[in-house]
Structure 1
Amino acid sequence: MELRHLRYFCVVAEELNLTCAAERLHMSQPPLSRQIKQLEQEVGADLFERGPRGLRLTPTGLFFQQHALQILEKVDATVEATRRMARSKRVLFGIGFVPSVFYGQLPLLVRDLRQKDNVELSLAELTTVQQIQALKAGRIDMGFGRMRIDDPEVEQEVLFDEPIMAAVPCGHPLADTKPTLAQLAEYPLVLFPAQPRPSLADMTLGLFRRRGLKVTVAQEANELQTALALVASEIGITLVPEQVKRVQRDGIVYVYLADPGLTSPVICSRRKGEAPSPIMQAANAILEVLVENRRSGRYP
């Protein structure tokens, strides 16, 4: 399947008339009809209903149209951004991150890098496993996650460890306490992210498992915000890194835990063996200051 097939399809879906669509595309009708038929064969479904009054999108066609438009918009935006970079001589620098690290100092790194005239930043929300793959493929240059992964092509640096907290509903019996994991295990757990794994969800389950505690997972969520909304709805409690307490949400209280040593690392991943580019050197210098501020308590 080529992009032109998606463009042809979207024009036909908008016009619902092959003659009018062919005129817009500056082509004759028979080749356009063949292209649409070939697309349907490749997809394995009828995208249009063909009747005496013309064309009509099938439910499958409506679904395909929504996603085809998104793909084309993304491609067009990427091409335009690439052209802007070429004109401005800016260097692309990609950063991958898990959502739970974006409530701390990472936004300050992004802010400082964006102020540099020669940098075009690309941000991607990725699990740590996905970050490793993206680093090796050259899609990002630096990743921020929480899992230690052994890969010969990637180096990982633990920037700091931060305490694990519990997010509980307001009015919960543990809301005004400093509970233990054993106490938390008595209540339903909201787990995130549900997919892809392994992830923070597995780290959370591991904390209970290593202490011989069994938990009841009431609900799994893919997004941190969804997990917090479920907690506010009193579906259960969830464990979060300390940075997340900056997310102020009605119906939620964050409490520290009584168990010692319950922390989650913030890990920076980079490609191994590469001489750092000027942009990477600048990012490392900014990161060093931010991490020192965190370790010294100047940034909670």
Structure 2
Amino acid sequence: MYNVYTDLKESSIRKGWIYIELRHLEYFLMVSKELHFTKAAEKLGISQPTLSHQIKILEQEVGFPLFNRIGKKIELTKVGEIVQQEALNIQSSLQNINSQIEAFTKVEIGELKIAVLPGEITDLVSTLCIQFNQLYPSIQVLVQSTDQVEKAVLENQADFGIGFYFNRHDMLQVTKLYEEEFYLIGNHRDEEKSISFSSVLDRPLILFPKLQQCRKMLDKTSDEVGKRVEPIVETSSIESILKLVRSGIGYSVVSRTLYEFYDTEDLFFQQIEKPSLNREVHLAMKKNSFINYAARSYIDILVREIERLRFHIEKDSIASLKSFIS
């Protein structure tokens, strides 16, 4: 039985202890999610009358109705919204307890869930899985490529997430991992070490499709300089892009991450300027949430790889992250 203490200010509301069973919170959260008693009962594996009765017990204990019932439809009351938020916090705390116990009792088995933006960062994360698997072959790694990295972390669908930009959120701890530049790559050496962005757009380009993160940056920057990106070939396959560049059909614009993690020794690059193309890569974790053994180990491998490749890093951020995972 879980005790929730409420100190309500209004004189018409009783003060004291509220006694709530955890299963009542589980039932309530399912109803608040489905907003339908029959559907919630089916997912919980109990009858609808039983579920309604349990919710009534919870409402009696709280002292207020938790749902407005409008015909067959229901919606949360203001008190219901308060209970929902606190119940989610309790649920998260219980999950943390389970995670910590499992981490101490099953140090080298289990799973690691990583949320990452689609594109070259997914390639980086997946490549490092080879090294991680050699060290921890019994730990299953699940790499979720998604545009909603922040949501995946906040909803406990991932142990941590890696992306380029995160909104400020009270429940999110964000660490800048590194900053990287973009290169123009071709199959022959150019006399100049750098090239203007405007000149890049004049070259025959082989690029990722518009939905890819690198392409979005190119399109945005081209709009700012008043020109259009008009590639001669679009493909989502980095292997195809590199093959086409090698054949001399055209050039491509790739991040340093891609350049470092693929076989590009036979290709040549120029740095882009006026404007230069750069972006920051961040790691996000849920605040006050236990980071399991597998996640700590993977992050350690990631940080060491970033340092080995000599990316532009913020020493204080990396030092803080190392202290956290040690």
- Range into which the TM-score falls when normalised by the shorter chain: 0.5 to 0.7
Any unmatched runs of 5+ in structure 1?
A: 1-86
Deviation of the 1:103 alpha carbon = 6.4
1:71-122 deviation digits (Å, cap 9, x = unpaired): xxxxxxxxxxxxxxxx998221122444423666874475246513763222
How many residues are matched? 204
Aligned residue in 2 for 1:280: 295
Which residue number in structure 2 is paired with residue 144 of structure 1? 162
Shift of the 187–255 alpha-carbon distance from structure 1 to 2, 3 Å rule, reads same
CA contact (8 A) 1:99 1:224 kept: no
Whole-angstrom distance in 1 between the partners of 2:183 and 2:307? 22
Contact map agreement 1:113 1:283 (CA 8 A) in 2: no
Which residue of structure 1 lines up, in the alignment, with residue 185 of structure 2? 167
SS of structure 2 residue aligned to 1:179 = strand
Letter in 2 for 1:205: D
Change in Cα spacing, 1:225 to 1:272, as seen in structure 2 (3 Å) is farther
Q: Deviations over 1:256-300 (max 9, x none)?
A: 234465323222233344232333333344444444444588xxx
TM-score (normalised: structure 2): 0.50
- Aligned match for 1:94, one of 95, 113, 116: 113
Q: How far did 1:137 drift?
A: 4.9
Which whole-Å CA distance do the structure 2 matches of 1:288 and 1:249 have between them? Answer: 23
- Note closer, same or farther for the CA distance 1:109–1:158 as it changes in structure 2 (3 Å cut): farther
Find out whether 1:182 has 2:203 as its counterpart.
no
Which string of whole-angstrom CA distances, capped at 9 and with x for unpartnered residues, describes residues 28-72 of structure 1?
xxxxxxxxxxxxxxxxxxxxxxxxxxxxxxxxxxxxxxxxxxxxx
Counterpart among 194, 212, 215 of residue 201 in structure 1: 215
Aligned to 2:139: 119
Deviation at 1:144, TM superposition (A): 2.8
Residue identity matched to 1:274: S
> Aligned-residue CA RMSD in angstroms?
3.8
- The CA distance in 1 between the partners of 2:265 and 2:298, in whole Å, is 35
Structure 2 letter corresponding to 1:187: R
Preserved CA contact (<8 Å) 1:165 1:241: yes
Residues of 2 paired with 1:133 and 1:291: CA distance? 25
Given the alignment of the two structures, is residue 225 of structure 1 paired with residue 239 of structure 2, yes or no?
Answer: yes
Find the counterpart in structure 2 of residue 156 from structure 1: 174
Alpha-carbon spacing, 1:296–1:163, altered in 2? closer, same or farther (3 Å): closer
Question: How far apart in 1 are the matches of 2:307 and 2:159?
Answer: 22
Structure 2: 5+ residue runs without aligned partners? Answer: 1-105, 313-326
Per-residue Cα deviation, 1:148-198 (whole angstroms, up to 9, x for no partner): 132746543321111211122x24xx744321112111123333144xx36
Alignment of 1:63-78 (within 5 A): none
Taking the aligned partners of 1:118 and 1:295, their CA distance within structure 2 comes to 31
Structure 1 contact 91–118 (Cα < 8 Å) conserved: yes
Instruction: State the match for 1:212 in structure 2.
Output: 226
Identity of aligned residues (%): 17
